[in-house]
Chains A and B, each alone.
Chain A
């Protein structure tokens, strides 16, 4: 059936396929049904489980407070879908409007929602990644394996990468009384997301809780015994570390490979779409029937200079899925833009970290309440004379106030006369984000030897 502008007939009898059966896919499916879509709905997901919640995997699950399979997401309504779980989508025929699946089957659609999300970035050297004791953490399956190993009380856990996931895993390990080393390429934990000023607080938290935190360090090799068990990690400062568990926490990769050659503008940075969640094709023309939501999407945000934002946030998956689903069954003027103000949270080392806005756009920040030294504060980020983001450490109740400042383009620096500001917070300071134009991991290559047969290259991965 052809859908030339959404019609009542489509809402009644259309065929919608959702690829990606996690948070975004589920919330989109619910929204479709709630808004009156009664046609056929197919949910395709490569994981065998029904949609589940991922944030507990690096927190409650690793603390042993709940089983890794214990968080199927609650449903807001019955979605009456055909579920195709445990089978990945492998291709998209844009003209024929069909999704190809790993088992050879094809599913036809009138409208498609792509919510394939991300996967953990694996350790770059495949043979080392295969060592027994090397883990990533993204899926409940990953969490089962990692938790099982942590329960067996390894002598030392190495976390590679001190972003949010790595830091949360380190926190859980310390809470379980395990020895932990964190190797971070940058100058501090969380520096990519929150900048160096806040990163320094995160570093203090880690060290105060007994983490052996090593910044400006990369892991150059993982070494195993003859039986293939991880025994040792080699670091870029020339030292080595005896470890039996290494968790690779180097961020995520977007699941777009299955769209290669499809004509959809999909690549390593995600799938570009408009603010109404419609995917762009490779010509830069917006498609009519292909929608995108969640971690895999990149969409322009009017509030943030129309930049295309990729947001790997729980809240974005929910909000964007609802907008995408609404727009899949709404006609032109009734379509809504995705205007959700980015927000995320992390719990680590007993501190509740929350953020709103886009901190990485901020070049300056002010500690507007509390104090860095107390690990309890609110900080506002400024960009071109306005408030662009905020972060709180154990000050969550203030965050909504800052969100409204961001939404109303409140001027920066902020001048709050009547809050508990300390001298350190009266002036803006550079937020200290790493310069994105500089390669953060360029190696140092040195030559040694004189005669051509002696000449050797020494390759040293850079300190960040």
Chain B
């Protein structure tokens, strides 16, 4: 069984509760490579970030006025990873 994170340095997983998000765009200032505004107030984000982004993402999550950003709070993901391979050929766009 393949390690799902092998070969890719996907170390942080991110999800934003967009019911909470009110478009203050603090995250888009603090981690612009991960969070961007789409139109006036819709947020679009990349749901994963590598180590280089870690500090920015953590800062963005902390600065969110409505605390809508959830990142993995758990250091060792791999121990509890489901043991299935992920498709390797899905990079597009």
Q: What are 15 A-B contacts defined by CB distance under 8 Å?
A: A48-B85, A64-B93, A65-B46, A74-B14, A74-B15, A76-B70, A76-B73, A77-B74, A81-B80, A83-B82, A314-B18, A343-B19, A350-B38, A350-B40, A396-B22
| B83 contacts the other chain (CB 8 A) | yes
Given known A78-B74, A396-B22, contact A53–B15 (CB-CB < 8 A): yes
Given contact pairs A85-B84, A394-B40, A71 touches B47 in the complex (Cβ within 8 A): yes
For the complex, what is the distance from the CA of A74 to the CA of B13, rounded to whole Å? Answer: 5
Render A81-94 as a binary contact track against B, CB cut-off 8 A, 1 for contact: 10101100000000
Is A304 engaged at the interface, CB distance under 8 Å to the other chain? no
Chain A, range 313-364, C-beta contacts under 8 Å to B: 314-315, 318, 343-345, 347, 350-352, 354
Q: Is the CB of A344 within 8 A of B19?
A: yes
Further pairs besides A66-B48, A74-B14, A396-B21: 11, Cβ < 8 Å = A59-B44, A63-B93, A68-B90, A74-B15, A75-B72, A75-B80, A77-B74, A80-B80, A148-B92, A396-B22, A396-B41
A67 and B91 form a contact (CB under 8 A): yes
Q: Is B79 an interface residue (CB 8 A)?
A: yes
For chain A residues 47-62, which have a beta carbon within 8 Å of chain B? 48-50, 53, 55-56, 59-60
Q: Would you call B42 and A315 a contact (CB within 8 A)? A: no
B47 touches which of A48, A70, A394, A400 (Cβ 8 Å): A70
A-B CB contacts (within 8 Å), total count: 132
User: Closest CB of chain B to A312's CB: distance in Å?
Assistant: 14
A315 partner, pick from B19, B44, B80, beta carbons under 8 A: B19
Is B17 in the interface zone, CB < 8 Å from A? yes
A69 interface hit (Cβ, 8 Å) = yes
Query: Is A147 at the interface (CB under 8 A from chain B)?
Result: yes
Instruction: Provide the bound-state CA to CA distance between A74 and B39, in Å.
Output: 26
Interface presence of B63 (CB below 8 A): no
Q: In this complex, what residue of B is CB-closest to A83?
A: B82
Question: Contacts A75-B72, A77-B73 hold; do A352 and B40 have CB atoms under 8 A apart?
Answer: yes
B6 adjacent to chain A (CB < 8 Å) = no
Q: Does B23 count as interface, using CB distance less than 8 angstroms? A: yes
A-B pairs with lowest CB-CB distance, top 5: A64-B93, A350-B39, A352-B42, A347-B42, A74-B13
Q: Which A residues are in CB contact (< 8 Å) with B48?
A: 66, 70-72
Do the beta carbons of A50 and B39 come within 8 Å of each other? no
Set of chain A residues within 8 Å of B41, measured between Cβ atoms: 352, 394, 396
Closest A-chain residue to B14, C-beta based?
Answer: A74
